Chains A and B, each alone.
Chain A
Amino acid sequence: MRYVVAKDSREVVDLLMEDKANLLLAGGTDVLVRMRLDERYPDRIIDIKKIPGVAEITEESGGFRIGAAVSGAQMGEHSQLKALWPGVVEAVELIGSTQVQGRATMAGNLCNGSPAADSVPAMLAAQAVARVEGPEGVSDQPVLALLDAPGQTKLGKAEFITSIFLPARPNLAGDAYLRFIPRTEMDIAVASAGVSLVLDEAGIVIEASVALGAVAPTAVMVSGAAQALIGTRLEAAPLQACAAACAAACSPIDDKRGTIEFRTKVAGVMACRAAITAYQRAGGQP
């Protein structure tokens, strides 16, 4: 194995174009675990952290661009980002321990391709957009469009993510992420939900998006659940409808972390609870 520190994105793309087994390294909290457990090493590991700007959070058009090597801890310490997208930040901050937070990145969480990735439902709900660099140049792609299957994304040959953009927010908007784990920390999500809401002056939901994690081969957007919340103040009936829509959208597996039955039920619970938090953050009083 060789370790290469890339100076810029072009170099990464050029290296990825070569016919070698490459792995990109940002936070390394998935890559190193996999190498260790499988005892399989790529020909080359390409460290992208030294690419200019890739470890920075920058304000852009009222939103924020999160570099691919920005750690969860950095996001948690960024008060304006946290104020704008509290749900996304709390999702990223739930990944692993404080130690893992010191390194883990939101882009890496996406690229790892886990259906249970914490940041992904929050990014979906936030309609986050990934900036992708590749042989054809730079493109912006919605995070949703990159989801593919367990362990893989739709990134093409020699493509990689350099940053993720979280857009500007209107007033009276809020988001939240919640996951269920058997302990209070240190687990992989068994079912999770990201919810983003926009309210009108009367406290009625006018825009909503609901995404679920760990209940299907990839994180999923549940438009039925979002529809159930629009036009309401999150009264009992719409919440019930939201939970039902979530359950209907689930196609989970039985495994060591949870059963189909459990995941299906709890996904709706997480979505409703996240919706209530998002609603409060948007200034609503349920």
Chain B
Amino acid sequence: MKKKPLDKVNKLILYVLLTIFAVVSLLPLYWVFSTSLQLNSYQSQDMERPVSYVDSNPPKMYPMGIPLYFEHWGEARDAAKSGDAKEEAYHRDMMDHIVDNTFSSYENLFKKNDVGKWFFNSFYIAVVVTFGILLLDAMAGYVLAKKKFPGRNLIFWVIISTMMIPGQVTLVPLFIMVGNLDLMNTHWALILPDLSMVFGVFLMRQFMYSIPDELLEAAKMDGASEWRTFWTVVLPLAKPGLAALGIFTFMNVWNSFLWPIIVLNSSKLYTLPVGLKTLQDANLASFKLLMSGAAVSAIPMIIVFILFQRYFVKGLTLGGVKE
């Protein structure tokens, strides 16, 4: 589309509208972080009992620790100026208390709950599945794109046609199978079905087409084995596709929820989303704690997104990736 210079008024309207939409769309994420850092116990000299700003009405739009900290900081400075040591010590104590209380739920999360374990489980499962998928799907996609052998088209179409079938269809049979294989309540029950996802085969096959045949021929002439050709010629050329597939696989596994809540039932094996659900169900956790858990689960994906943004765009436009 040709970009025609917009006049200033139109441009301003556009920016204002987009900013409003963006604020609405980011508000929930902001609310997660803001609530996780909200003061939930604060008592100054003139208060009868401690107040919590987490479930105050009206809700506080930002962590109250920030303005209160500076208030006490100012008063401590004033007290120091006028030589009131007792008053200064009090305000210094309050400042410490505010900092402790602001971050208290993150500390509790890891100390009193299994969140550290859940985080580790989610992470290592996502890493194992991602690298497994990259290797398996690159191998399969490569031969499906570049080799001619009997049954190639049949295999491809059988694999692709299952992409149409919603995942819920296989839940019950998989559940029975996992039970029969004695894998219930193990991480294998998550890893094996995840490694079987077929989307990557489709994506890699599309990508491998763009690799020039001459390069493969040349490697063959040099006497490289099939495996060596794949490893040293094909894989490096497929890097952008692998990056896109890797990121989407990591995201899907990190956020996967329905299957894990079915097969996992002991806390030490939970992944983060499953653990967060049990935290919420237990009804014992404060919202501050829940939102800290949510933040811990969101941060890695936000970092991955910021670091690898261009691959997200590439992956989406390459083959149309499922959410």
Do chains A and B interact in one complex? Answer: no
B interface vs A, CB < 8 Å? Answer: none
